[in-house]
Amino acid sequence: MKSTNTHTKPSKAQKKPVQGQSGAFMTVYEIADLLRVEPLTIYRYIRSKKLTAYKLGKDYRVQQKDFERFLKNCKTVK
């Protein structure tokens, strides 16, 4: 059974991550899609400083390297 994607913003989340000097930037919605969680969960990780993000206006961007570090820290089996 296919899972429907219920929490992506139209068109913005479908674009490629923006490439910066230190790697690609991802949106909260892109990360939520990858992890199959609600965007609110990602906002909570950002607010609790478990996930480093940059706030641009009302939106957040997360660098690819910070996202990978976050995943490594969440790993239960080392």
pLDDT tens-place string over residues 17-40: 555 555 699 999 999 999 999 999
24 within domain boundaries: yes
Q: What is the CATH number of the domain that holds 53?
A: 1.10.1660.10
Q: What is the pTM of this model?
A: 0.70
2 within domain boundaries: no
User: What is the distance between the alpha carbons of residues 28 and 20, in angstroms, rounded to a whole number?
Assistant: 17
pLDDT at residue 76 tops 90: no
Number of neighbouring beta carbons within 10 Å of residue 8? 15
- For residue 23, what are the contacts with CB-CB under 8 A and spacing of at least 6? 63, 64, 65
Residue with tokens 């949106």: 27
Q: Which domain holds residue 40?
A: 17-74
Q: pLDDT at position 20, please? A: 54
Q: pLDDT at position 46, please? A: 97
Neighbouring-strand partners of residue 19: 24
Confidence band, pLDDT 50/70/90 cuts, at residue 75:
confident
